Structure 1
């Protein structure tokens, strides 16, 4: 039996206000005064001095604001890497991603592509990265995706949506400061929190489940129930707990895998550009057949928080678009195998997927 030797984030700091320690944490990693730290920051923080005023810029350090309106693309990673190389005489001391899953995934991918030849699309898959990434730090400002802890960076490429899954992907340092999530809009908070909840349901009901992933998954599941169904939590408590649920949910799938909702939402995202969190919710809402208890709980949470999901996304799609959606979803074989076992192809046909998509 060949067990996975899984890389984890080597350093993590947790606590309200811990963002202020960023300078002390990264300064020892500075290679020299000409080798900058590059900050990739979600552009929702443009003009938000409460956050950006605390970014410890020195020497040639640069802050690049990036929109998270669209899912991260391989071409976007290539453009960022090229711009960093052209504008700096030395390789950066490190890349720091500040934002949600999109920014964290971009930071991981840029750190990898600064030391590996070719284009980002060449590395979409499992264990294709040969050279260690440069030092990279993740600072989540929203909780749920698990991007801060995972060994993948999910990217939409020219012909597929697939992560750069490698031992060099995880962050060298993560700063978990729940205070940074205080301005997250209600809907966004719910969709991203549900990404975490769905991670847990898919991991805990999967054929790849083992004691390692189960221990993390159960903890994250319990935290999600507390956050989304218990009305007694203070705002601070809920923020702290969701940040830990995100971490545990990410760890749960690290040693197992996600399932049907993620596979199908990749199809939605590739063809329609649907954001990951809301895409998972739209799909999961229709998966009672596969995850009856999880979907029942999800519907309860949705009702409690007055969340209305978009309807009719796939109603007027061309056959060619539906076909592409189905092909993208089916290409994620490990997810289907985790969900339904080795004989999943006898259960999930193109027709079955088409009828599911047409309900969304």
Structure 2
């Protein structure tokens, strides 16, 4: 679990107070990885407490994070600084948070990021790392994984060393998120709940978090009782609880197939989940009906025909990625999932997208 959490509007202003005791010395910088959407946004960037050799690196979140991107950032830090940084701080959505976690881990573990895609392959704790989400829903701020697209697959670095040492949850930071992105990322949280609560890995611990997150999602996306600020506060909490639920259970069919879309076509994770979830009535009938009600209520258009012009070889690539995520299928279907989840079954589903 994340060991330290600060929550509240304006809590971002406590960043300097939080980081100062963690600075090793004047030559060991803090590295801030920041979504480049905030470039020139003094409202946020002026409050980042840069001192000594601290470095602010703007990173585009237009594409999913890659293992090669992690390796490049690690190399850049090693070449530019004689001492290991005091910490890595990720400020942004799931892409930036995942990059921050991965860089912190790879600064203390030899090899390339692709070597650690999988479960419990990390041997050494990462350096101090802090997550500050500026959009709610991914659960990356609390999860034990960092989802990366590698040369042969899209898969997380899943380990007990991955979670942040400190998280700052300030709903004010989400105020300018575009509506479509707000919905796609919010649905990532919603799908976390549905897949966790309907999975074979479910236990009372994960269930308690999943049920609370689902309750909040219903309130946010189906009811008209909340102010904009209240909805933002609650979605940040839904994201946290949803992330906790899957951290102690697992996701399922939507995520497995979404990873295939992300790996081959570069479809962003949130919208990829929506594209897939549209067609999963067989597995999550109540969840899909609820999702479609949310989609219609907020008048959100989901991309259609993304797989329309793919070759058989391209379908095979997506199917290979999806099938490689065995824990997800076992959670969704059970230990005998290979009897029903065939390549033909997955291709038929992808053809609908």
Q: Quickly name the TM-score band, shorter chain normalised.
A: over 0.9
After TM superposition, the structure 1 = structure 2 runs for residues 170-209 of structure 1, keeping only pairs within 5 Å, are 170-209=163-202
- 1:330 match: 323
Q: 2:139 aligns with which of 146, 151, 176?
A: 146
Question: Displacement, 1:90?
Answer: 1.1
Give the drift of 1:183: 0.4
1:3: which partner in 2? none
Q: Which runs of 5+ in 2 are unaligned?
A: none
State whether structure 2 residue 33 is matched by structure 1 residue 40: yes
CA distance in 2, matches of 1:236, 1:19: 16
TM-score (norm 2): 1.00
Superposed CA deviations along residues 224-266 of structure 1, whole A, max 9, x for unmatched, are 0000011121011000000000000000001100000000000
Cα RMSD (Å)? 0.5
For residues 37 and 291 of structure 1, the distance between their equivalents in structure 2, rounded to whole angstroms, comes to 44
TM-score of the pair, normalised by structure 1? 0.98
Q: CA deviation at 1:139?
A: 0.2
Tell me by how many angstroms 1:347 deviates: 1.2
Tell me how far apart the structure 2 counterparts of residues 69 and 63 of structure 1 sit (CA, whole Å).
19
Pair 1:163-2:156 in alignment: yes
Q: Is 1:270 paired with 2:263?
A: yes
For 2:106, the equivalent position in structure 1 comes to: 113
The yes-or-no answer on 1:79 pairing with 2:78 is no
Shift of 1:289: 0.9
1:125 is matched with 118
Q: Which residue of 1 aligns with 2:21?
A: 28
Tell me, yes or no, if structure 1 residue 346 matches structure 2 residue 339.
Answer: yes
Residue in 1 that maps onto 2:87: 94
Which of the numbers 289, 310, 314 marks the counterpart of 1:296? 289
Instruction: After the TM superposition, list the runs of 4 or more consecutive aligned residues in structure 1 that deviate by more than 3 angstroms.
Output: none
Uncovered stretches (5+) of structure 1, i.e. residues with no partner: 1-7
Quote the offset at 1:89 in angstroms.
1.7
Aligned residue for 2:251, secondary structure, equals coil
Aligned residue in 1 for 2:219: 226
